[in-house]
Structure 1
Amino acid sequence: MTPQHRHLHVNGITMHVAEQGEGPLVLLLHGFPESWYSWRHQIPAIAEAGYHVVAPDQRGYCATDAPSAVDQYTIMHLVGDVVALIDALGEKNAVVVGHDWGAPIAWCTAQLRPDLVRGVVGLSLPPARRGPVPPLVAAREEHGDDFYVLHFQEPGFAESWLGKDLATTFRGVFTGTEATDHEAAPSIDRDVTPGSVSAAKPSWITDADLAVIVDQYATKGFAGGLNWYRNIDRNWELMAPWQDALITPPALYVVGDRDNVRTFCRIPTLERMRALAPALRDVIEVPDCGHWTQQERPNEVNDAIVSFLRQLPPA
């Protein structure tokens, strides 16, 4: 059986979802630059375990609407989309799983609406406290002006830079976070197309997979996903009322041992994570795994998620 596809009206936009299975709801939230397809290995496995699995293209991505205004991509819009999606699916709650950018959306949904979240799983990015200064200020001080997040703030540049050659871009993006040098934060050379230095395709993605991803991005491009980055400081302002608010639902954190996000995002200790998420059940380090966790090591990720789901109280 393969996932079924449909569109739902969610929080003022039309959202594309892929879904499979019956049972308690599990939402899978992708990161950048990805789509529902990044969960292709998880959807059937979790459905077979007895769950209704739904993986949306999130706001701005692929087959989901992409509002033109940058300020339509704040954390409140993105969490609001998750809340509205649960309702549109006719459910009262869900387990929310997120990878990369999807992880902070999952953590924040659990923080802001614990009444709707039976459990939360973050891949790559851990639960994190709101910092004392705007994130872009901190990023510039720590990583310098060539840090990729800072270049992403310029409307038009990153869209063009990433869109020059989609196949080469995705080969480069998916390879770039497999580096063994955990000390290096990703930077941008504006004169070099992503992936043009090393255009080798990573072993965990097939030619057919790459073709699907390129096709998904061929029409809409990267603007919607990049607008998430352009709200980073605005999100910091909006989250001020929830400073130090706890993430109370049962939680799991999964990270690859070769994920370079471990260093440049300064992943906190288990004790610090549990101070923010006191119901954190476990931290699972996936061996020989870079940043694209669920695509690189699907069996290990599937086992971790299903095991966590089975430990939760009945829906």
Structure 2
Amino acid sequence: MEEIVQKKVRVNGLDMHVAEKGNGPTILFIHGFPELWYSWRHQILYFADNGYRAVAPDLRGYGGTTGAPNEDVGKFSIMHLVGDLVMLLEELAPDEEKVYVVAHDWGAIIGWNLCLLRPDKVKAYAALSVYYSPRNPNPATRLPEYYRAIYGDDHYIWRFQVMFIFHLTLLLYIFWFWLNIYEQEVGDIEGEFEKIGVKEVMKKFLTYRKPAPLFFPKGKGFGDSGEDDDDSLPSWLSPEDLDYYADNFTKTGFTGGVNYYRALNLNWELLAAWTGAQVKVPAKYIVGDLDLVYNNKGAKEYIHSGELKKNVPLLEDIVVMEGVAHFLMQESPDEVNKHIHHFLKNHEKN
């Protein structure tokens, strides 16, 4: 990957690591969890060769991007994440009023919110895996609580939350000036990842192909979700690819990425003013039929019934790729590239 330029850009209090290649209209690629700019390696090369400038940062808390306070979940809100990208575009593409945006997984959530909050910055948006979900004012629909109610305490989104354990110790008040001892168990999931090993965690995530929810039962690793009789890597993920991810997450840990999940309820509060708002940017949605997101309860009905289109009125196309799982841009890069390229060409004059 020597031909891809690597650099640091000072953005929003961060030193953001950015990979880029090519000249032409800018495409901003936004990665998900647990990923890095590297997840877009195939797209960077393809689009640079086809007349675009491909830009892919390591997001706040990931990889070579430094400066985010992992101990402060509030610094991982959607406002911070969108703000980082707005400021990155100001630095890297000051002469472009709008850019193309392509995003996956958590990156897709950020991308949808970039389109919602700053549609003036986005020429056209291709979302991979994660569809747009509008804010519901009912607190019971906040994602951690929603998935816990449907799938139980072992669902990964609930397990990624910060867990607090409170112990009330009644001591003799005459001899002690305090009554309560609080023991806080923070970073519980990171401790479990450490026991499994970074490389094995990355392998389990990247090769997950079940069209079903991901569970992470306490003390049991990936549980049944991680069962796989074949210990070999798929053809699209080389040992060198896996090593790149493992080496980076060994250095940084997983807390930065997990904090995105821990800020979900904060995001629900911050986005109250956009309740009922539509995303009004030209958009395309691409997903694999084996993707766990596509197979969430009610997801297919929402996507194909016209409800997604109501919330994204400029949605032009929905593509469901057969036999493809969550990390589709790595698993089937040629097909994904063609879908994205066709969409972007239709908006060259925007």
Distance 1:13 1:266, change over 3 A: farther
2:103 matched to which residue of 1?
98
**TM-score, normalized by length of structure 1?**
0.94
Letter of the 1:78 counterpart: L
Structure 1 residue 227 and structure 2 residue 227: aligned? no
CA distance in 1, matches of 2:79, 2:298: 24
Letter of the 1:303 counterpart: K
8 Å contact from structure 1 (residues 172, 200) kept in 2: no
2:168 matched to which residue of 1?
none
Cα drift, residue 5 of structure 1: 0.5
8 Å contact from structure 2 (residues 154, 218) kept in 1: no
SS in 2 for 1:303: helix
**Aligned pairs (5 A) from 1:161-310:** 161-164=192-195, 165-176=197-208, 178-179=209-210, 182=211, 184-194=212-222, 197-198=227-228, 199-264=231-296, 266-267=298-299, 268-270=302-304, 271-310=306-345
Cα drift, residue 38 of structure 1: 0.5
After superposition, what is the alpha-carbon deviation per residue over 1:88-143, rounded to whole angstroms, capped at 9, x for unaligned?
10243211111000001001101111111101111000111112332222122111
CA distance in 1, matches of 2:51, 2:322: 27
Identity %: 39
2:50 matched to which residue of 1?
49
Distance 1:280 1:17, change over 3 A: same
2:74 matched to which residue of 1?
71
Cα drift, residue 278 of structure 1: 0.9
Cα drift, residue 266 of structure 1: 3.5
Structure 1 residue 86 and structure 2 residue 94: aligned? no
8 Å contact from structure 1 (residues 98, 106) kept in 2: yes
Q: Could you list the structure 1 runs, at least 4 aligned residues long, displaced by more than 6 angstroms after superposition.
A: none
CA distance in 2, matches of 1:169, 1:138: 25
SS in 2 for 1:263: coil
Letter of the 1:88 counterpart: E
**TM-score, normalized by length of structure 2?**
0.85
Structure 1 residue 30 and structure 2 residue 31: aligned? yes
Distance 1:92 1:157, change over 3 A: same
After superposition, what is the alpha-carbon deviation per residue over 1:270-312, rounded to whole angstroms, capped at 9, x for unaligned?
4111111111110111121001110111011100111111000
Letter of the 1:125 counterpart: V
Cα drift, residue 196 of structure 1: 6.9
Aligned residues: 311
Structure 1 residue 61 and structure 2 residue 77: aligned? no
1:141 matched to which residue of 2?
149
1:12 matched to which residue of 2?
13
8 Å contact from structure 2 (residues 22, 53) kept in 1: yes
Larger radius of gyration, structure 1 or 2?
A: 2
Cα drift, residue 2 of structure 1: 2.1
Distance 1:197 1:138, change over 3 A: closer
8 Å contact from structure 2 (residues 154, 217) kept in 1: yes
For structure 2, the residue ranges without an aligned partner over 5 or more in a row are 163-185
After superposition, what is the alpha-carbon deviation per residue over 1:32-53, rounded to whole angstroms, capped at 9, x for unaligned?
0000000011101011111111
Letter of the 1:54 counterpart: V
SS in 1 for 2:81: helix
Distance 1:249 1:288, change over 3 A: same
After superposition, what is the alpha-carbon deviation per residue over 1:169-206, rounded to whole angstroms, capped at 9, x for unaligned?
11111222x02xx3x32111222344874344233201
8 Å contact from structure 2 (residues 20, 44) kept in 1: yes
8 Å contact from structure 2 (residues 145, 158) kept in 1: no
For structure 1, the residue ranges without an aligned partner over 5 or more in a row are none
Q: How much is the aligned-residue C-alpha RMSD, in angstroms?
A: 1.6
CA distance in 1, matches of 2:249, 2:146: 31
Distance 1:265 1:226, change over 3 A: farther
